[in-house]
Structure 1
Amino acid sequence: MKVFCPECKTSLSGPKSAMGTRVDCPECRHSFFWTDRQHAGDSFVIYDLETTGLDPEQDEFIQIAAMRFTAGSLCPEDTFASFAKPRRSISSFIESYTGVGNRHVANANRPEEVLCEFAAWSGDSTLIAHNGLRFDSKFLAATCRRHGLPMREVHSIDTIHMSKMLFGKVRGTGHSLDHLISRLRIDSQNIRRHDARGDVEILGRAVAGMWQRLGLDRSFNGVPRHGAFLPIDRG
């Protein structure tokens, strides 16, 4: 595959397996992450979902929380958080795991309504979630499809990719949020885990820490992206 040095625009060739690794341009010695596409923009939304189960085709999300990350900095004052009322009761297991029970969602809007609110709030920002490729992004798309919501595609980053770029891909390394808490020495005391608001606060600190350690630019160039879907803002 061919890439271009973002500094001197020299064309370089290499294997696709090099994606996400740091290289030095042989012409200008500029150090950058190997990627087949350079992105612009510095507006990101870090988010987390809690759900009634693991199947996006059968289960629904019951809580969403998000925080902006703009121009290389967390924006803890710019957040989104909401419960969502699913169409079936929340099990005792999910309540014990997430802390979210039927009493919390009794007066909340339905997931598709909350998702429309989130989509309007997040705008065209690139989304960031932990294990988003296999989990969160699938719930966003499934919610849109289930309720016939017109969709738009947005870029999304899975922080597991960032963790692998920073800590390696050796089998057994582990890239869970708990691993990030330990490796980045994030103080998670007094923060409830598996509550979307608590997890997104932790994830925000993890993103900021990994962004700094990796030496990424404000557009997160070099970090793999995938497509996610949100409802089209009708407002």
Structure 2
Amino acid sequence: MKIYRIKYLFLSLLLAFAVISCNNDDEAMMDDDLMMDDDMMSMNPDFSGTYAQVDFMGRPGINTVLGADGDAKDAHNISVPTNQGTSFQAAYQARLEALHDAYAIALGLTAEDVDYQPNILGDILNGPSNDGFTNNPVTAEVLTTVLATDVLEVAPNAPTTYFNGGTGAPNYEGAIGFTGRTLQDDVIDVSLILLFGGGDGVRFNGEGGLPQLVTDGVSLTADNITTTFPYIGSPE
């Protein structure tokens, strides 16, 4: 009987020692974790190392459409704005005119019939005229000079918009553009209109045997925009 009591007492002591040991380890681990967290909180971020710019997108879609190939697109993405105009304007213009030529061939027309036409940014970029935009043509060179520098302008004294056509075609009275960008701006459609819309903004609108090039067919709806981060609703 004494033997059993001694045996049980010994087992009880072992169990108690094990429990105490575990508690001490847990507390030590918790202390270590707290110390580690305190150290992490007090550490300054380390930004040392070598970084490489891989993308540049002030105006989405421009480099995608006007970059001649993958290498050209990559080169534009890693360039800085001060170099983009001189480095890419000529290539962008050649690409813009080549796209119009390609559509002319596909439609069985001459290049002159489907050549680039000055677009609706005339008054905005060159100052107002007396009869809409016809006296202030935004040539292919002017347009690609603007678009090659892939930044968003800011106009503190004007409404923020990528483009607002005002009264619309044909005179676009009150139109403003390139004063910034809001979530509601359909940047891709605006870009397509500038590239292919001509003087009234609707040249390649799918009518008269011409292709639909002034819209991607994807519109923004009210429930796409929210008032909390990330400000874009769920895909539809």
Superposition TM-score, scaled by structure 1 size: 0.22
Query: Higher Cα Rg: structure 1 or 2?
Result: 2
